[in-house]
Structure formats: C-alpha cells, structure tokens
Amino acid sequence: MTRSFRQLLAVILLGTSGCALFGSGQKSLVSSQNRLKPEQLANFEADAPVRRVVRLDTSIVSALATDRRMRELAWEELDESGVMSHSDRNRLNQSGIRIGVSGGTLPWALESLLRGERVNSESSAASTRRSDNASSFGLQVAIPQGSNSIIELSPEGKSLMVPPGRIDGVSKSGELNDARCVLDVTATEYGEGWVVLRFLPQIHHGSRTMRYSVSASGEQLPIRQRIQPLYDQQFEVKLHINETLVIGYQKQDEWTIGRMLLQSDSLTSTSERLLAIQLKQIEEVAGQKSMDISYSKY
C-alpha cells in the first residue's frame, strides 16, 4: 500500500466519522437507569440483597451458689429434655453445663433473679448484705447473617487455673493470664419465626497484640488476645421468637469446663452465673443496588 493511498483512506474515514470522534458526546451518555424499561427497573430493585439480623436480649445473673433459685427453683419450669438430643445433653451436663428453654413467661424464680431480689424478705442484717442479693446486667446482641457475636461470661483481667490435660492446647502449668470466658454465637439456620443458634465457648487470654487469623473474607491481622476454642462443649439450640434460653452450672464432683465458665470463688463464698438469652426478633435488612459508577475509585 503506497503512502498516497493511505493518506486518501485516512481522509475518507475522517469525513465519515469526524463528528463522532470530535463531538462532545455528552448527549450520547445516557444513564443505565434511563435505558431500562419500567418493568425491568422494578425487577432490578426487587432483586436487592436481603440479609437477616438476629436480635437477642441477654441477661447475666450472679448469685451465691447456695441460693436455691440458681440450681433448683429457676429450672423447675424449664424444658431441658426437648432442647437437644439426650447424648448432647449428657455431654454438656458432664462438662458442668446445664441448658433449658422457657417457652413464654419466665419462671418466677428466674424473674426474681433477673430483678436482683434477695433470697428472702427478712429484715435481719444478714439478709441485707450485698452478698445475699442477686445482681444482674443485660445487653442487646445483634447477629448479622454470615457473622457472629460475642457474649461475655466473666470479666477480663483475672487468671484462670486449668488442671493439666483438661483442655487441649493449654500449657502444663495450666495458668491463663488476663483471661475471660465468652460465648461465640452464630446463627446457622433460619425459618419463619425461628432460628438455630450455635454456641461455642471460648477462653480469651494473654496480651492484646496483632495475631494472624483466617476468616471467610480472607487472611487478617486483627489486634486481639489468644483464643482457645472449646469445641467439645459446642452446642446448637433452636429458638422461636420470645423463647428464652437459660445456661447454668451443672454441679459435678470434679473440675469441669462449666465450673470455669460459670463459677467464681472468693475467700468467703462461691458465686455462680446464670445466662438468659431471649430471641426478640429476626429482622430482614434489604440492601440497595446502585447503578451509579464512581470513577474516582478506579
């Protein structure tokens, strides 16, 4: 192809498409939304992502281990047999963990504990001591779909002593510094008015530092304590809206995980903790789809 022929071809191309090449082009830039028909736009908006959020009301009660409400009276009206299989219930009981569910109105003894009432109504000096009263505090917990939440069982900053060989991964000395016991809660199944919650007891201990972690979103380096999961004590419970799950201590002669999670010893007495978790709502949160493109991000 000669040079003169190439020049002629370029002139022809510019003559036929010059307006398209050198025009402002603003009139041809029509938003994607304007190009959609009304029914197409409606289908697009209806296809927005929806995520469920489980909302729980949690309360932790602390009272003396000698308080009959903690080990006896609060459990008289709770369903312990229908919560899970017999083998799972025995496994947890042997680990010192007791599970029950209240279908609606809470037993009077549990209500009494949640209100922080005294063991009895006597006006003697012994009955007015603070140690004779039950104390409770609560918080609301939200569990987004595909995520998890943490429920604190014990305050941070104390040392835990674990008998040798009782927990895999714990050093022979058995001492865990700056330790706290938590429940890692995840929603695994959803239905109309019900949800299946998975509870994984964990021990968080040691100093807070950057630690390597692998999650569903990839590799991360969060600042956290060392985490010791207790998979042998993991369990699942199906809850309907307004039902309350109660987690307490099952007395055993030997040291158990439940004793570590739910008991505290002082020089003069032993106190226990009772955890009440009520399913308040399963909320559906709809996301928004945007057809706008932000070129500044690229």
84-129, pLDDT tens digit by residue? 999 999 999 999 999 999 987 888 989 988 888 776 544 333 433 4
Residue 295, helix vs strand vs coil: helix
d(CA 167, CA 170): 6
| Percent of the chain at pLDDT exceeding 90 | 39
Higher pLDDT pick, 217 / 119 = 119
Q: CA 221 to CA 194: how far, in whole Å?
A: 35
Beta strand residue intervals within the chain, DSSP E: 50-64, 97-102, 135-144, 148-152, 158-161, 175-191, 194-210, 213-215, 218-220, 223-229, 235-240, 244-249, 263-265, 270-286
Total-model pTM = 0.74
pLDDT tens for each residue of 125-164:
343 344 456 787 888 999 999 899 999 987 666 778 888 8
Give me the pLDDT at residue 86, please.
93
Residue 201's pLDDT is: 96
- Confidence class of residue 210 from pLDDT cuts 50, 70 and 90? low
pLDDT at position 121: 44
pLDDT for the residue numbered 291? 54
Other CB atoms within a 10 A radius of the CB of residue 97 amount to 23
Angle at the Cα of 54 (from 49 to 55), degrees rounded to 5? 130
For residues 50-63, average pLDDT? 92
Decide: 166 and 195 in contact? Cβ < 8 Å.
no
How many whole angstroms separate alpha carbon 181 and alpha carbon 156?
Answer: 8
Structure tokens at 191: 């239905």
- pLDDT on residue 244: 95
Report the C-alpha gap between 73 and 113 in whole angstroms.
11
Q: Are the C-beta atoms of 288 and 46 separated by less than 8 Å? A: no
Most confident option among 1-10, 78-87, 205-214? 78-87
pLDDT digits (tens, 9 = 90+) for 1-51: 566 666 666 666 655 555 554 555 444 444 544 566 666 666 655 666 778
Residue-level pLDDT at 259: 93
